[in-house]
Amino acid sequence: MLKVLFYVMLVTACFADQTSLRRPLPSGKIIGGSVASITNFPYQVSFQDWNAHICGAAIISESWAVTAAHCFLNLPVPKVRSGTATRGLGGTVHNVANYIIHENFNQNNFDNDIALLQVDTPFQFSASVQPISLPAQGEATPVGAQAVVSGWGVTVVSISHRHMSLSLIRGQNVEFLCPERYSNIFDSNPDKNGGTEYSSDLLYIIANIYSDSDCNDKYYADYGGLFVGDFCAGHAEGGIDACQGDSGGPLAAGGKLVGIVSWGDQCALPDRPGVYTRVSYYRDWIKEKTGV
């Protein structure tokens, strides 16, 4: 397993106001998930840094994929691996030639958490590599509909909303400029991978679409409610929850990419569904930036 030492320079964060509402990253591990075949999820790709899996992404054309904007924080050498269900093995690795982060992305509360990436060599479509269709601008996914989220089940360091949202430290050792502020991010005795675990196999779970009003009610007190470009999916009883997919990964319903894994409150808690970027809210933006 690749291990890279990241020196995260958080000068600004050392002096930041800790009382502002910051939304936590999704917990990342797909609990209760089933092993997936890449031919059932041919749009799924692994977004990588130095060949280490960082986030999920979804193919939308021969040259473009879509992911979460927060996946680009502190990412020096992005690549994409397509056409494989095994993390870090097989398929084809593409360099990222260009990427576009939504101009209104807010890294504190993850509003407008969407980004586009363009590969340097086109995806070669086959049974294991295919684009996923996009919804129309403003198209709604019915409340209660079932959707499927897929990913490699990377366990992300859980971060309180009162701390700096630190992404892309999964599977890495991290040294902080001001460790006294971030000492509670890791376990008291983390392993060499920062306390993370990986699934070698692509996994998937089924999640139910929540109404916006229900999602707002669940997150209003702690996080100020739901942004118009977000929606919730999961299970009311907890235990199996869409928040457990990889950041940036796809949530699909009716053969279309309806959501992008964005954030969530811990993992699989009752009445704490995963929060997704609503792709239909950004359909015109995607068209403007990519022509897709």
- Reported confidence tier of residue 211, pLDDT bands at 50, 70, 90: very high
Is 18 a member of any domain?
no
If you average pLDDT over each of 52-56, 107-111, 135-139, 147-151, which comes out highest? 135-139
Q: Which one of 128, 158, 199, 247 is the catalytic residue?
A: 247
- Reported confidence tier of residue 40, pLDDT bands at 50, 70, 90: very high
Give the CATH number of the domain where residue 271 resides: 2.40.10.10
- Reported confidence tier of residue 112, pLDDT bands at 50, 70, 90: very high
Is 146 a member of any domain?
yes
Sign of CA dihedral 128, 57, 266, 72: positive
Q: Would residue 70 show up in a list of annotated catalytic residues for this protein? A: yes
Q: Which one of 27, 46, 70, 165 is the catalytic residue?
A: 70
Query: Is the pLDDT assigned to residue 276 strictly greater than 80?
Result: yes
Query: Is the pLDDT assigned to residue 230 strictly greater than 50?
Result: yes
- Mean local confidence (pLDDT), 35-61: 92
What is the rounded distance in angstroms from the CA atom of residue 188 to the CA atom of residue 252? Answer: 37
pTM score > 0.85 for this model? no
Task: Provide the domain limits for residue 117.
Answer: 24-290
Is 7 a member of any domain?
no
- Reported confidence tier of residue 15, pLDDT bands at 50, 70, 90: very low
Number of structural domains in the chain = 1
* pLDDT value of residue 46: 94
If you average pLDDT over each of 22-26, 235-239, 269-273, which comes out highest? 269-273
Q: Among 242, 157, 246, which Cα is nearest to 206's? A: 242
Is 204 a member of any domain?
yes
Is 210 a member of any domain?
yes
Q: Would residue 187 show up in a list of annotated catalytic residues for this protein? A: no
Cβ-count burial 236-248 (b if 16+ within 10 Å, e if not): eebebbbbbbbbb
Q: Would residue 213 show up in a list of annotated catalytic residues for this protein? A: no
* pLDDT value of residue 157: 36
The proportion of the chain whose per-residue pLDDT surpasses 90, expressed as a percent, equals: 48
Q: Which one of 113, 230, 246, 265 is the catalytic residue?
A: 113
Query: Is the pLDDT assigned to residue 265 strictly greater than 90?
Result: no
Is 111 a member of any domain?
yes
* pLDDT value of residue 30: 54
Is 1 a member of any domain?
no
Residue 285: left if φ>0, alpha if ψ -120 to 50, beta else—which one? alpha
pLDDT in tens, 83-95: 999 988 999 999 9
Regarding predicted confidence, which is higher, 239 or 113? Answer: 113
Is 3 a member of any domain?
no
Query: Is the pLDDT assigned to residue 148 strictly greater than 90?
Result: yes
Query: Is the pLDDT assigned to residue 183 strictly greater than 60?
Result: no
